[in-house]
């Protein structure tokens, strides 16, 4: 068995659509040939069919990635043109009765002779075909195809509207009094020289800039202006949301589900809607008493009629007073490159993974980097990092898998690759990128996703890495790794002052750990608000979206937001991404992550047997088994839900 090389990152925008059409046509011809076989087996039908999907993903992913990190009119044009082609093809495949029957034929002929990985591929494909409507009559299939195409178009418009609105806003400040107290690094990023030679500061809705003013900006009126701009972005998305919800509900009923939430749960660990709602309600009930105490403390401290645009500002001041902690004092210790190297060392000490620079790799931007992952001196995967904010990059942070570990039709091994994208403060020749501790948590989180995909040893691409993992378990590895960003043993290995080289003091680390759960109940309730809102609107037929959000806030919101707040128009996770009726997954997976984290800490943190078991069971097995089964194999018991409240410091 030979090993296939990593793919080069290449995108030809001028020919992409023609190349995509040719590839899709070739796939249709190949599928027809595969279906013409008289006797279909896993090797003769399923394996080549699965690899076609892998190769299509490999072709499209660089274009999708470029659209997110180097967005331009050209990428928008190409991406928008590509989506209906892919949606149409995906719908055609997903509803193809002959393909569906071919999988059933292979299952009936040789299921008991297949290894567990291949059995899961068969199971998930048959389920996927049924969830795509392969068994429906032709009229229903045609309507479902229309719905899928329209949903894809609407989600793309939602995301683009949000990006355009984010980039369209800027607030220029000329009075130095209005930037007093803002950290120098943030001021340097905002500063520019006006036409008359004076210094002014420009703040935008890009995350580093927005957070800087909302957290440190002394002018309350400016804070409200920037806050209002942020929570009223893309008002045109309101109509898109209504149409998306209606289409999702219609598609769910075509497929035999009462609601879209029920459809969503078909591929998740949670068994039904009541289970999810009860889980969220119990967390809310446990968090509300402490949350109310946290808000009352903040109100007393602020001494004003506290509003949503005040909370970050006064919370930062309260935290500094209570814990004598200044987050900005930490940033010189958290230089981006040092943090990345420290993260790589953590992977080595936890799992025995070595990360080395990948030489001579051409990338899409000068700030992007490539790294190879080794286990026991054997090359296992490649990781690409693009960590700094820029106007052409959409906001937020994410992991995007590219290649999956598998063996191809000829038995050759293909190694995995993935991207991690963040929006950290940009570096320059004069100023390095200095991170907040929250940035470190974000980087560790996305790396947890990445190693889950990259370190798989599964040979079937459809259940390798993050493939085939239940949606409400997919955040387990990411949340697990982010917990280590608070461990003093981890932080001391890379937190050195960028100018003096001094290692961060125990006193500073103790304060950082003490503040970990500052206003933790407030944060918990905020996430529960998102999760409840998401789930509730997908349980109802043509809901009044604002009314549902208001109902949820009556149960979760400690501080009522202004009437103009339209948070939902920017909720890209569920209207532009894949978390519809699944945002609860973050908290659901946190049960698993908290439990596993505390178990490893109890064994001594570094170089533990459980850490290596986590590599060999959770990471290596990917989606080849249910996460419930894998977790039991790791821990020898069911998850302990009490670990979630313990992790959050909620009594």
Q: What is the mean pLDDT of residues 529-541?
A: 97
Residues 6 or more apart whose Cβ sits within 8 Å of residue 367: 386, 387, 388, 390, 426, 427
**In the chain, how many domains are there?**
3
Instruction: Write down which residue in 229, 253, 270 finishes a domain.
Output: 229
What value does the mean pLDDT take over residues 396-400? 94
179 and 120 in a single domain? The answer is no
Q: What would the two tokens of residue 14 be?
A: 């001028």
Residue 359 lies in a domain: yes
Q: What's the CATH code of the domain at 46?
A: 1.20.1050.40
Query: What's the rounded Cα separation, in Å, for the pair 197 and 222?
Result: 24
Helix (H) or strand (E) holding 593, with range, is: helix 585-602
The CA distance from 621 to 267, in Å, is: 18
**Would you give the distance in Å from CA 4 to the centre of its chain?**
28
Residues 78 and 179 in one domain: no
Whether pLDDT at 512 is above 90: no
Query: Pick the residue with more confidence: 391 or 327?
Result: 391
Residue 1 pLDDT grade (very low, low, confident, very high; cuts 50, 70, 90):
low
What are the residues facing 353 on neighbouring strands? 375
Q: Let me know whether 122 and 190 are in one domain.
A: no
Does 496 lie in the same domain as 417?
Answer: yes
Please tell me whether residues 196 and 129 are part of one structural domain: no
Would you call 153 a catalytic residue per the annotation?
Answer: no
Residue 125 lies in a domain: yes
Per the domain annotation, does 633 fall within a domain?
Answer: yes
Q: pLDDT at position 156, please?
A: 92
Order of all β-strands in the sheet with 369-375 = 353-357, 369-375, 378-388, 416-424, 398-401
Nearest in space to 447 (alpha carbons), one of 413, 406, 490: 490
Query: Is residue 96 scored above 80 in pLDDT?
Result: yes
Are both 472 and 401 inside the same structural domain?
yes
Last residue of a domain, one of 161, 195, 229: 229
Q: Tell me if residue 221 falls in helix, strand or coil.
A: helix
Task: Return all residues near 413 (Cβ < 8 A) that are at least 6 apart.
Answer: 1, 2, 3, 4, 405, 406, 407
DSSP assignment letter at 132: H
One of 446, 482, 529, 590 is an active-site residue; which one?
Answer: 446
For residue 600, give its domain range.
332-519+585-648
Which one of 205, 229, 253 terminates a domain? 229
DSSP helix/strand/coil, 371: strand
Buried b (16+ CB within 10 A) or exposed e, 243-263: ebbebbbbbbebbebebbbbb
pLDDT at 407 over 70: yes
Nearest CA to 590 out of 468, 449, 477 is that of 477
Provide mean pLDDT across the span 362-368.
94
Residues 598-622: what's their mean pLDDT?
A: 93
pLDDT tens-place string over residues 371-395: 999 999 999 999 999 999 999 898 8
The pLDDT assigned to 269 comes to 86
Residue 208 shares a structural domain with residue 124: no
pLDDT digits (tens, 9 = 90+) for 553-596: 999 999 999 999 999 999 999 999 889 999 999 899 998 999 99
pLDDT tens-digit readout, 452-490: 999 999 999 999 999 999 988 999 999 999 999 999 999
Residue 209 domain flag: yes
Query: Two tokens at 8?
Result: 């080069």
Strand partners, 170: 204
Q: What percent of the chain has pLDDT over 70?
A: 100
Determine the length of the chain.
651
Contacts of 293 (CB under 8 A, 6+ apart): 521
- For residue range 47-65, what is the model confidence (pLDDT) as tens digits? 999 999 999 999 999 999 9
**Mean pLDDT rounded to a whole number for the chain:** 94
pTM: 0.78
Above 90 in pLDDT, residue 430? Answer: no
Q: Looking at the structure, tell me whether residues 128 and 191 fall in a common domain.
A: no
Q: Which two tokens stand for residue 391?
A: 């106007």
What is the Cα–Cα distance from 488 to 341, expressed in whole angstroms? 16
Same domain (yes/no): 386, 338: yes
Quote the crossing angle between the two packed helices 138-168 and 73-94, to the nearest 10°.
Answer: 160
* Shared-domain flag, residues 194 and 58: no
Residue 267 located in a structural domain:
no
Q: Which of 86-90, 145-149, 305-309, 499-503 has the highest mean pLDDT?
A: 305-309
Least Cα distance to 238 among 1, 585, 553, 544 occurs for: 544
Running DSSP on this structure, what letter comes out for residue 436?
P
Both tokens assigned to 529: 């608000």
- 215-224, 498-507, 595-604 — which one is most confidently predicted on average? 215-224
Is 275 a domain residue?
no
Helix locations, 169-201, DSSP H = 184-190
Query: Is residue 495 domain-resident?
Result: yes
Residue 325 predicted with pLDDT over 80: no
For residue 237, give Cα distances in angstroms to 156, 231, 245, 409.
Answer: 11, 12, 12, 44
Residue 547 counted as domain residue? no
Q: Are residues 75 and 180 in the same domain?
A: no
Residue 509's domain is classified under what CATH number?
A: 1.10.1370.40
Residues whose CB falls within 8 Å of the CB of residue 408, separated by 6 or more in sequence, listed in order: 4, 51, 414
Q: Which residues contact 135 (CB under 8 A, 6 or more apart)?
A: 97, 100, 129
Question: In 232-272, where does DSSP find H-type helix?
Answer: 237-254, 260-265
* Rounded distance between C-alpha atoms, residue 573 and residue 578, angstroms: 6
pLDDT value at 438 more than 80: yes
Structure tokens at 180: 């007093």
28: its two tokens: 């249709």
Q: How far apart are CA 533 and CA 592, in angstroms?
A: 23
Least confident of 124-138, 223-237, 550-564, 621-635: 124-138
CA distances from 239 to 84, 234, 551 (A): 20, 11, 20
Q: What is the pLDDT of residue 320?
A: 87
Give the largest CA-CA distance in the chain.
80
Same domain, 181 and 84: no
What pLDDT score was predicted for residue 327? Answer: 79
């Amino acid at each position: 068995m030979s090993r296939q090389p990593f793919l080069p990152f290449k995108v030809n925008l001028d020919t992409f659509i023609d190349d995509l059409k040719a590839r899709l046509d070739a796939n249709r011809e190949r599928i027809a040939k595969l279906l013409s076989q008289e006797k279909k087996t896993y090797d003769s039908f399923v394996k080549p069919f699965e690899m076609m999907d892998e190769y299509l993903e490999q072709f499209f992913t660089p274009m999708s990635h470029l659209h997110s990190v180097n967005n331009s009119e050209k990428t928008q044009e190409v991406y928008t043109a590509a989506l209906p082609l892919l949606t149409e093809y995906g719908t055609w495949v997903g509803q193809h009765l002959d393909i569906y029957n071919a999988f059933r034929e292979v299952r009936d002929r040789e299921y008991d002779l297949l290894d567990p990985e291949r059995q899961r591929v068969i199971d998930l494909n048959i389920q996927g075909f049924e969830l795509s409507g392969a068994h429906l009559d032709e009229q229903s299939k045609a309507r479902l195809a229309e719905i899928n195409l329209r949903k894809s178009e609407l989600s793309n418009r939602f995301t683009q509207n949000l990006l355009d609105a984010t980039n369209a806003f800027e607030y220029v400040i000329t009075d130095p009094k209005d930037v007093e107290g803002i950290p120098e690094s943030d001021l340097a990023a905002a500063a520019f020289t006006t036409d008359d030679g004076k210094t002014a500061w420009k703040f935008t809705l890009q995350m580093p800039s927005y957070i800087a003013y909302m957290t440190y900006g002394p002018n309350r009126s400016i804070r409200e202006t920037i806050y209002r701009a942020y929570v009223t972005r893309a008002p045109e998305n309101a109509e898109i949301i209504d149409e998306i919800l209606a289409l999702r509900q219609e598609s769910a009923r075509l497929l035999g589900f009462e609601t879209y939430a029920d459809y969503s749960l078909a591929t998740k660990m949670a068994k039904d809607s009541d289970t999810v709602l009860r889980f969220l309600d119990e967390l809310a009930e446990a968090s509300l008493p402490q949350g109310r105490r946290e808000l009352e403390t903040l109100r007393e401290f602020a001494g004003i009629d506290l509003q949503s645009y005040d909370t970050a500002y006064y919370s930062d001041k309260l935290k500094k007073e209570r814990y004598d902690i200044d987050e900005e004092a930490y940033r010189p210790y958290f230089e981006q490159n040092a943090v990345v190297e420290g993260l790589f060392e953590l992977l080595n000490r936890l799992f025995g993974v070595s990360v080395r620079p990948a030489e001579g790799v051409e990338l899409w931007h000068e700030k992007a980097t490539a790294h190879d992952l080794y286990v026991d001196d054997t090359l296992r995967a490649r990781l690409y990092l693009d960590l700094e904010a820029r106007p052409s990059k959409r906001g937020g942070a994410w992991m995007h898998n590219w290649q999956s570990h598998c063996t191809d039709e000829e038995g050759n091994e293909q190694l995995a690759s993935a991207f991690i994208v963040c929006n950290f403060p940009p570096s320059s020749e004069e100023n390095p990128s200095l991170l907040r501790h929250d940035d470190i948590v974000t980087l560790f989180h996305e790396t947890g996703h990445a190693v889950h995909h990259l370190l798989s040893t599964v040979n079937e691409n459809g259940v390798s890495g993050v493939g085939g993992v239940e949606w409400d378990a997919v955040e387990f590895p990411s949340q697990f790794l982010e917990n280590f960003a608070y461990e003093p043993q981890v932080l001391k290995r890379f937190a050195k002052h960028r100018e003096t080289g001094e290692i961060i003091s125990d006193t500073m680390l103790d304060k950082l750990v003490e503040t970990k759960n500052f206003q933790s109940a407030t944060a918990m309730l905020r996430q529960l608000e998102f999760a409840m809102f998401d789930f509730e609107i997908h349980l109802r037929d043509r809901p009044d979206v604002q009314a549902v959000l208001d109902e949820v806030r009556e149960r979760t919101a400690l501080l009522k937001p202004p009437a103009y707040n339209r948070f939902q128009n920017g909720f890209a996770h569920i209207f532009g991404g894949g978390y519809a009726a699944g945002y609860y997954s973050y908290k659901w997976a946190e049960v698993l992550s908290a439990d596993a984290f505390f178990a490893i800490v109890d064994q001594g943190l570094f170089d533990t047997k459980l850490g290596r078991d986590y590599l060999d069971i959770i990471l290596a097995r990917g989606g080849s088994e249910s996460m419930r089964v894998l977790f039991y194999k790791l821990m020898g018991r069911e998850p302990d839900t009490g670990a979630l409240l313990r992790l959050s410091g909620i009594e």
